[in-house]
Structure 1
Amino acid sequence: MTKAELKKAIEEWKQHCETVQAATSINIIESPAQRLARIARLRSDYTAFVDYYFPHWTINPETGKATPCAKFHIDAANKIKANRNLKAGFVWHRGAAKSTNMDVFVPMWLMCQERREINVMVIVGKSEDNAKTLLGDIQAELQYNQRYIADFGEQYNAGSWEEGEFVTQTEVAFFARGRGQSPRGLRYRSHRPDYIVIDDLDDDELVESPARVSKLFDWVRSALFGTLDGGRGRFFMVGNMIAKNSVLAKWCDIKSVHVTRVNIYDKNGDISWAAKWTPEEVQAIADVAGYRAFQKEYMNNPIIEGAVFRNEWIRWGKRPAWSKFSEIVLYIDPSFKGSNKNDFKAAKLWGKAGTQLWHLRAFVRQCSVAEMVRWCYDLYEWARAQGIAVRWYMEANFMQDTILDEFMREGELRGYQLPMTGDKRKKPDKFQRVEAVSPLWERGFVYYDESQRDDPDMLAGIDQTLAFEKGMRGHDDAPDADEGAIWILQRDTRQKKIVSSTSIGLRPNAKNVSW
């Protein structure tokens, strides 16, 4: 840090210390027996420990209510407590309180146990200054947390986070180190490190260089790991998986390393830390971040742009007159297998004009099937009003699924049914199918209607297209629907058959939709 930056950091730390001291005032009245019983409970109950000693971290200033730990916080803390020699990777999404728990709450919980659990703690950050700042958080608690001090005695003795090390009166030593910085000789008296936490070591610049990642990983598993006493002690990395080629990824690939992966959506589509975020708040994050950034930062799913499609292949153009299209197809990929709330539904409108393929309209959303069905009916009515004939397709597997019931219910409300045809082909592997049509983008046959340049559904679909790669864990419903529509357009061109959509009466008083 520069002198000015250090001065600012010190001022901010002092303000934080004042907050810690004020928030942890003691107003509890209890007998000695009650106090001992309370301390015993807090030693065994991580959630209760966090709620009592750290209200300045947990209480929401807007509501005045505490945000309790999530199950994954509790499970991780208990796992660490139970295993003095744990080697682990905690792959948690952004905003999951990784540093707060692993750098502050958990070590302080271990320190107050009846059996001594920590002698020397080392925090490793992406830089020395970053590690010192992280160290400052736990020093502030040990020095100014009145509740902790009242229950377990004065903690702080000497040293400072600004210098990268301090020690408590019970002779627990704390050190800060930056990535690649020599850790050799790290010890306090006769004790070597026994709690090493590597916090968000990777960054976007580092992971761009495989050579740098490999060199840093070698440092982690040799020089840094070697500071333990013959491998004894707790040693783990925390962070979110921002790249497949990262130090965290390499660490988690070690067979003996315990790995916990927490995404903002769990496997059932629920919010992993529901006490902190509402579904609407998470959706707002996804809307602002965009598909690829959200997958990387919040779903631990780093996606390499351009693995199959490249950004420069996305060509926008002025759409030809509707009469110039030889055929227009709407292909639906409802992705309605299972009950995941965060599944995407995709419906894509494509047309063929000469040798050009035009992407005309899109529906790509995390929503209910009913919302997608209403959009499809609205599109049908808009197309009818424009005099556009659209052929409607959906994968045949879904034609017998409960999703068809949604179309029938909406059709009964509107007074007609959509002329849906099942795509009955025996489909090859999805990656092979989508990759097979990618040359159409590369060779300049695919265009996007420029009137839809700011449409969020169209942009979400493009994000999924650019993110598409073999073995991806993210959503690929949009490029799958694109492939279905293009396959039908190309097939019909080969067979030289053009079939118009069946005319069916409109629902009375149907709402007007601007397309």
Structure 2
Amino acid sequence: MTKTELKDAKERYFQQSKVIQLLSYQSLFKESSQEQEDRIKRLLKPENYLEFFEYYYGVNSGLALADAPCAKFHLDSYLKVFKNPLIKQQRRWFRGAAKSIHTNVGNLSHLKQNNEVNFGLIIGRTEGHSKLLLSDLQLHLESNERFIKDFGMQMQYGSWADGQFETNDKKFFMALGLNQPFRGLRNNADRPDWASMDDLEDRKQAKNIELTKENVQKLTGDLGKAGQKGRFRQIMCNNYIVKDGIVEGYAEKYKGSKNLDISTVNLCDKDFNPSWPERYTKQECIDIVNDTDYHTSQREDFNNPVEEGKRIKAEWIHYKKTHGNQIHNGL
């Protein structure tokens, strides 16, 4: 991220912060201390995660963070994350499934308030990308009046623009790019106990076999061994867009682990029934598919990483022995 890009990002953050503060303040309502306490207790239960998200970030919160109610798969995936402190979950969700906002804001803030994270790490494809992802979290911890009313002022020091910040309850959050070192990460006595790997896949880079191997090894080795003893949730948010890439390599490395969970959610089924009916209608799914070329739609909407000109299946190829007395100049 250049100085100009960072300056522009800071200005956007400042403007968004004012909007969120205003809208969330206007959405506050009167309630007794006991009513507030009971509501918070209810919202922090993992089975009520969707209600938590809707209250602080959803369509009824006065904010523009979400444009539709949450889907069942948002809850199902998070329940697995909450219940297993050593989970390695791949969220192979279609483009437009709210992977990043649930993972880096909704899930992370719910875990934070349940004291289930001390050192949250957000990893993007580049350092600049990771900082922007971290800014989404800070934006709401710092400016969301609903969140502040229930949990108090959050920010202590640091900033997303510097790549790290700490909250008043001593929770530490850091942003790193895939090309930055993961070894030796520590904040006082705390090592990372949460890592989100957000949109790391790149179809062009996946053609570089050695680089892909290095990246997978870095995520499973350097990062995988950098976590806190007994608790290190690792979430990879990336739909399955390319063969032999990071997503596939990561799953292959951990295929023998009982903690690996692959959550695959496509835009719709073969009859165009949407996986997220709260946001998409059947007709909208039809329109999305028909308005996109076949190969792009298969990759982005259906987790089927086909490439144009590479659709010959192995079972279509037939083999036979050649006659020993024949000489071929070419094939």
Task: Find the residue that maps to 1:21 and give its secondary structure.
Answer: helix
Greater displacement, 230-239 / 79-88 = 230-239
Looking at structure 2, the residues matched to 58 and 32 of structure 1 have their Cα atoms a distance apart, in angstroms, of 20
Q: Distance in 2 between matches of 1:274 and 1:60?
A: 21
1:36 has 2:56 as partner = no
Contact 1:244 1:302 in 2 (8 A): yes
1: CA distance, partners of 2:207 / 2:314? 28
Q: Tell me, in whole angstroms, the C-alpha distance in 2 between the residues paired with 1:125 and 1:58.
A: 28
Aligned to 2:324: none
1:105 maps to which residue? 106
Pairing partner for 1:270 from 247, 269, 273: 273
Give TM-score scaled by structure 1 length.
0.57
How do 1:311-350 residues align onto structure 2 when only pairs under 5 Å count?
Answer: none
- Relative to the length of structure 2, the TM-score reads 0.88
| Pairwise CA distance, 1:128 | 0.4
The separation in 2 between residues aligned to 1:142 and 1:304, in whole angstroms, is 42
Match of 2:263 in 1: 260
Contact 1:86 1:233 in 2 (8 A): yes
- Cα deviation digits, residues 429-455 of structure 1 (max 9, x gap): 9953xx68xxxxxxxxxxxxxxxxxxx
Q: 2-side partners of 1:58 and 1:169: how far apart?
A: 24
CA distance in 1 between partners of 2:210 and 2:98 (Å): 30
Contact 2:59–2:69 (8 Å) recurs in 1: no
Given that 2:58 and 2:68 are in contact with CA atoms closer than 8 Å, whether structure 1 keeps it comes out as: no
Aligned residues: 310
1:6 Cα offset (Å): 1.2
What SS class does the counterpart of residue 226 from structure 1 fall into? Answer: coil
SS of residue in 2 equivalent to 1:249: helix
Structure 2 alignment gaps of length 5 or more: 319-331
The equivalent residue for 1:47 is: 50
Aligned-CA RMSD value: 2.2
* 1:196 Cα deviation from its structure 2 partner: 0.5
Question: SS of 1:301's equivalent?
Answer: coil
Structure-to-structure mapping, 1:474-489, within 5 angstroms: none
Percent identity among equivalent residues? 34
What is aligned with 2:151?
152
Q: How many Å separate the matches in 2 of 1:27 and 1:102? A: 25
Task: Give how far 1:282 is off.
Answer: 2.1
Question: 1:304 Cα shift?
Answer: 2.6
Aligned equivalents of 1:55, 1:258: Cα separation in 2: 26
Question: How far apart are the structure 2 equivalents of 1:23 and 1:261?
Answer: 34
- Alignment of structure 1 residues 7-156 onto 2, 5 Å: 7-25=7-25, 26-44=27-45, 45-55=48-58, 67-113=68-114, 116-156=115-155
Q: Contact 2:54–2:69 (CA<8 Å) still a contact in 1?
A: yes
* Cα distance in 1 between the residues matched to 2:147 and 2:189: 27
> Residue deviations 1:325-376, cap 9 Å, x none?
xxxxxxxxxxxxxxxxxxxxxxxxxxxxxxxxxxxxxxxxxxxxxxxxxxxx
Residues 308 and 233 (structure 1), Cα distance of their counterparts in 2 relative to 1, 3 Å cut: closer
Q: Which has the higher contact order (CA 8 A, sep 6+)?
A: 2
Q: Secondary structure at the match of 1:235?
A: strand
CA distances 1:275-317 after superposition (whole Å, capped 9, x unpaired): 11122222222222211100001100000322356xxxxxxxx
Q: Deviation of residue 47 (structure 1)?
A: 1.3
Structure 2 Cα separation of the partners of residues 79 and 216 of structure 1 = 26
Q: Is the 8 A contact 2:125 2:177 kept in 1?
A: yes
C-alpha distance in 2 between matches for 1:103 and 1:208:
28
Corresponding residue of 1:243: 242
Instruction: Kindly indicate whether the alpha-carbon contact (under 8 Å) linking 2:198 and 2:237 is maintained by their aligned counterparts in 1.
Output: yes
- Kindly report which structure 2 residues correspond to 1:307-456, keeping only aligned pairs within 5 A, or say none: 307-308=310-311, 432=316
1:216-227 matches, within 5 Å, as 216-227=215-226
Deviation at 1:221, TM superposition (A): 0.8
Distance 1:153 1:59, change over 3 A: closer
Matched with 1:296 is 299
Amino acid aligned to 1:195 = W
CA 1:32–1:108: 2 relative to 1, 3 Å:
same
Per the alignment, in what secondary structure is the counterpart of residue 90 of structure 1? Answer: strand
The separation in 2 between residues aligned to 1:57 and 1:33, in whole angstroms, is 22
State the 1:132 CA deviation: 0.5
Which has the greater radius of gyration? Answer: 1
1:83-107 deviations in whole A, cap 9, x for unaligned?
A: 1121111111111000000010001
SS for the counterpart of 2:44 is: helix
User: What whole-Å deviation, never above 9, does each CA across 1:95-144 have from its counterpart, x for those lacking one?
Assistant: 1000000010001011122xx11100000000000000000000111111
